[in-house]
Structure 1
Amino acid sequence: METLAFYCSSVSWGGLEMNFIRYAQWMRERGFNVVLYCVKDAYIDEKNKEYQIPVRYVAHNKKYFDYSNASKVSKQFKKDKVKAVWIRDRRDMNIMGLVKSKLNKGFKIIYQQAMQIDVKKKDIFHTRRFSKIDLWISPLEFLAEQVKENTNFPAHKIHQIPLATDKVAGTKLNKEEARRQLEIPQDKFILGILGRLDPLKGQHFLIKALAELEKEHKDVELLIVGDLTHNEGEDYYQLLQDEVQNLGLNNKIHFRPFMKDTEAFYKAIDVFVMASEGETFGMVTIEAMSYGLPIIGTRSAGTPEILGQGIYGKLYEVNNIKDFSTQFNGLYKNYEAAIEMGSKAQEKALKTFTKTSVCAALEDLLSPHIKK
C-alpha cells in the first residue's frame, strides 16, 4: 500500500501544529495509509498519543541545506513506500526538496499553506525552493492571490481549499448552564474572546474597548479564555491584570484558562470577537460561525474573507476603539438582526468549513497522486 507521510520538524505547539496532526488523522480516517514523521517528545508526538498514528521520529532539521537528515529521511521514506508527503511548516520545504531528489519521479510534495506571503519571493532561491512542490493548498483566496503575485509558483498547481472545524454546536448545554459552569453572570451581555494570551491576539485592546463601552452600556462584560504560550508571556498576563485593575473593571472581566471542550464558552457568550492584528485563518472564527454567534472581527488578513466582507460578521479596523464601538453598537442595539447574521454565518460554516466537505475536497485532490 502506498503511504502518505505527514512530516513536521516543529517542536512548538500552535495553530499550525494543531491543524497538522488533525489533518493527518482525518486523512487516515478517509482510508489513506498515513505515517507521521515528527520529533520525539515534541507536542505533536504527545498529541499523537490520542490518535495513535504510526510514527517515525526525525531530527529537528535545519531550515536549509540539511543534507545529512535528508539522506536519513529519504531512506525511511523508501522503507515506508512513501508516495507523497504533506507539510505545513515552511522550514520543512527545503529538506523535502532534498528528499525528493533522492526518490523516484512519482514522489509528490503537498504543501498546505499556513502563513502569508506578503512580500516578493521571486528570486532564484525561492523559485527553486517552491518548484519542488507539486500541490500547493491555500485555505483562502487572498492567500492564493499572494502566492500568484509574490512568487513564480505556477498558478495551475495552487488549489484553494479552506481549513475545517470538527466542532459543531452541541446540545449538551444551554446558555444558562454554560454560564453557571464558567461562573459568569446570567444577566449580563457577554463579549467573548478565545485563544492564546498574546499581544497580537488583541486581549489588551478588548479590555480598553470595554472601558469605553461600559460608559454607555453598564451591562456589558468580557470573557477571556486562554493560556499563556508555554514558558513565556507572563509579562503580558500581568499587563492585562494591571490594565483591568487600573480601569476598575475587576468585576466585568472574567479570565478563564484554556478549555479542551469549548462548547461552554461559545454557548455562554452573546458576541464573539476576533481581535487578532493579522490572523491568517482564524479557526476560532469558523467555530464561532458554526455556533451561529454574532461576530466582530478585525479588518485584516484572512478574517474579512472568512466573514464574507461583512456578510457574516461586523468588521473593524485593527486597534481602532471608535470603529469597534460603532460595530458593537450595531449589534447591541439590534440584537435580533445580529442573531440573523449569526444564523447566516452558521449556514456558511456548515456548508464550507466542515470536516466532511473539506476532507472530501482534499481526497479528490490527492487521489490521482496516491492510492489508498
Structure 2
Amino acid sequence: MNKKINLLELCLSPDLGGLELYMVRAAKALDESMNVLSVINPSGKLEQYYQGTPYRYVTLKKKSNLVMFASARKLAQIIDEHEIDIVHLHWTKDIPIAVSAKVFSKRKPKLVQTRNMTMTRFKNDFYHRFLYRNIDLMLPVTHQVADQIRTFIPESVRPKVEVLYMGSDRPELLDPQEIDALRKELGMEDTFAVGMVGRINEAKGQHLLIEAVARINDPSVHAYFVGHEMKKGYTDQLRAMAEKLGVGERIHFLGFMKNPHHFYQACDAVVLASKRETFGLVLIEAMQVGTAVIGSNSGGVVEIIDDNETGLLFEALNSESLAEKIALLKDEPLKHRLAEAGRIKAEKVFSNEKQFEALKTILMNEKI
C-alpha cells in the first residue's frame, strides 16, 4: 500500500470569505485520502471551523514582512516535524512565507498555490523570480487568471499551470413551507427579494444594487445584504445613500450568516456586482439551490454565467444596466428557466465532489 501524502493546507488570512472557506473545505475533503494538517492565523476567523472536529490544525502568527523570517522558520519546523510532502497555499500574501519556509526546511516540500486573485503586472524582478521559481504548481480558478499568469510571469520561472474551478458544498434544500417561514422571519414577505452576499465594502458593489433598486419604479423590489462590514461606518453610509434616493425602506442589512444557503433559497434573485471578481462562488452557491443569478460582465463571472441561459450579465459598474436585468426577472417563466438551467450547470461543473476529486488527483500526481 502506498504511503499517504502528508499535506499542509496554509491560509494565514485574517478575513473570512470564499478564499478562506475554500481552504477549510479542501482540508476536510482531502483528509480521507491524505494526512492533512491546516495552518491558520490565530487572529483570524477560521479556527471556529476546526474546533470540536477531528481535523488537525495549528495556528501560526504571521509577522510583518520585515520580521517574516521568524514565522517562516516556525513554519519550516512544522513542515519538518510533520514530514510534509506538499504545501497547498491559498492567500497570495502567504507566498513569501511559504517559499521561505521551503528554503529553510529539510523536507523541501512541493508548493502548490490555488490562485484566487487576478494578476495585473509583470513579475520579472529578482524578488518575484525567486518566489515563482520555488512554486511547483499554480491552480488558477479561471481560464482568465491562467492567461494572466502566462502573460505576467516569465516562462523561465513560471510554475506549471492547471485551471481548477472552485466547487461548492451540496446545500441543504428547504421545502416550500420552510422557505415561506424564512422569508417571513427575514421580512421578505410580499417582496421581490434581491440578495447580495459578501463583505460589505465598496469593491463588492452594494451601492450599485441600491442605485438599481432606486431606478426600478416598483415598491415590491427590495434588496437584502448579508455579510461583514469591513470598514466601520460604511453600512451607515449605504443606509444614508438609500434614504437620499428615497428607497430606505426597501434596503435591508441582515449581518453575517455562517451558512447562507438558506438565504439564497429565500431570494428571488442573487446579485454579484463586483467589477473584478476573480471567480464568484456566491453565484454558484445560489445556482445550486435553484435561485436565478445576475453578475457583472467581467472577471471570472463570465465563466460561470452564460448570459440569458444560466443567468443574466449586466454591464460592470452600471446600475442602470443592473436595474434592467432585475426588472427582467419579474417575468416568472424567465426567472424559473434561468434558475433551473443554472442549477443544472452548477451541479455538472461546479460541485465540490467533482472539483475536490480533481484536486486530489492533481496533488497525488508525482509529477508536480
TM-score (norm 2): 0.90
Equivalence for 2:56: 54
Judge conservation of contact 1:141–1:160 (CA < 8 Å) in 2.
yes
Aligned to 2:47: 45
Shift of residue 363, structure 1, vs aligned partner: 0.8
Partner Cα distance (2:219, 2:73) in 1: 64
Single out whichever of 322-331 and 159-168 deviates more from structure 2.
322-331
The answer to whether the 8 Å contact 1:136/1:157 transfers is: yes
- Counterpart of 1:179? 183
Query: 1:288: Cα distance to partner?
Result: 0.9
Distance in 1 (CA, whole Å) between partners of 2:187 and 2:341 is: 30
Instruction: State the SS of the aligned residue for 1:161.
Output: coil
Question: Paired residue for 1:282?
Answer: 280
Find the counterpart in structure 2 of residue 130 from structure 1.
132
Q: CA deviation at 1:310?
A: 5.2
Residue of structure 2 in register with 1:344 after alignment: 341
Q: Is the 8 A contact 1:87 1:111 kept in 2?
A: yes
Contact 1:178/1:267, CA 8 A, preserved across alignment: no
CA contact 1:225–1:256 (8 Å) conserved in 2: yes
Residue 90 (structure 1) aligns with: 92
* Conserved? CA contact 1:184–1:254, under 8 Å: no
The answer to whether the 8 A contact 2:196-2:270 is kept is yes
Structure 1's unaligned 5+ residue stretches are none
> 2:17, 2:297 → 1: CA distance?
22
Residue of 76, 83, 90 corresponding to 2:78: 76
Change (3 A) 1:65 1:369: farther
Are 1:235 and 2:238 matched, yes or no?
no
- Aligned partners of 1:25 and 1:326: how far apart in 2? 41
Measured against aligned partners, the alpha-carbon deviations of 1:59-93 in whole angstroms (never above 9, x if no partner) come to 31444784443333223322211111111122222
Q: Deviations over 1:308-345 (max 9, x none)?
A: 3553211112221222233233332x331231122111
Match of residue 200 from structure 2: 197
1:305 aligned onto 2:303 = yes
The answer to whether the 8 Å contact 2:83/2:107 transfers is no
Q: 1:54 to 1:251 in 2, by over 3 A?
A: same
Residue number in structure 2 paired with 1:35: 37
* Matched-pair identity in %: 25
Q: CA deviation at 1:144?
A: 0.7
Distance 1:218 1:309, change over 3 A: closer
Secondary structure, counterpart of 2:233 in structure 1: helix
- CA apart distance, 1:193: 1.4
Pick closer, same or farther for the CA change 1:122–1:290 going to 2, 3 Å: same
Which whole-Å CA distance do the structure 1 matches of 2:72 and 2:227 have between them? Answer: 37
- Post-superposition Cα deviations, 1:88-147, rounded to whole Å, max 9, x if no partner, equal 122222222223234467621110112110222233321221111112111111111110
CA pair 23-326 structure 1, distance change in 2 beyond 3 A: same
Find the aligned partners of 1:189 and 1:24 in 2 and give their Cα distance: 38
Q: Aligned runs of 1:245-256 on 2, under 5 Å?
A: 245-256=243-254
Query: Cα distance, 1:41 vs. partner?
Result: 4.7
Secondary structure, counterpart of 2:36 in structure 1: strand
Describe how 1:6-25 pairs up with structure 2 within 5 A: 6-25=9-28
- Provide closer, same or farther for how the CA distance between residues 173 and 106 of structure 1 changes in structure 2, counting only shifts above 3 A: farther
Correspondence for 1:157 among 155, 160, 167: 160
For the 8 Å contact 2:62–2:68, the answer to whether it is kept is no
How many angstroms does 1:348 deviate by?
A: 0.8
Number of the residue aligned with 1:265: 263
CA distance in 2, matches of 1:167, 1:276: 25
Query: Which SS does the other structure have where 2:37 is aligned?
Result: strand
1:201–1:276 contact (8 Å) kept in structure 2: yes
Q: Give the alignment's TM-score, normalised by structure 1.
A: 0.89
Residues 151-181 of structure 1 deviation map (CA, whole Å, 9 limit, x = unaligned): 1257781111111110425134544223122
* More deviation, 217-226/201-210: 217-226
Look up the match of 1:358. 355
Contact 2:137 2:159 in 1 (8 A): no
Task: State the partner residue of 1:114.
Answer: 116
TM superposition shift of 1:13: 2.9
In the other structure, the counterpart of 1:295 is 293
Contact 1:138-1:160 within 8 A present in 2 as well: yes
1:315 corresponding residue in structure 2: 313
Corresponding residue of 1:188: 191
Structure 2 gap segments, 5+ residues each: none
Distance in structure 2 (CA, Å) of the matches to 1:139 and 1:368: 19
Cα distance between partner residues in 2 of 1:256 and 1:70: 39
Give the alignment partner of residue 209 of structure 2, picking from 199, 206, 211.
Answer: 206
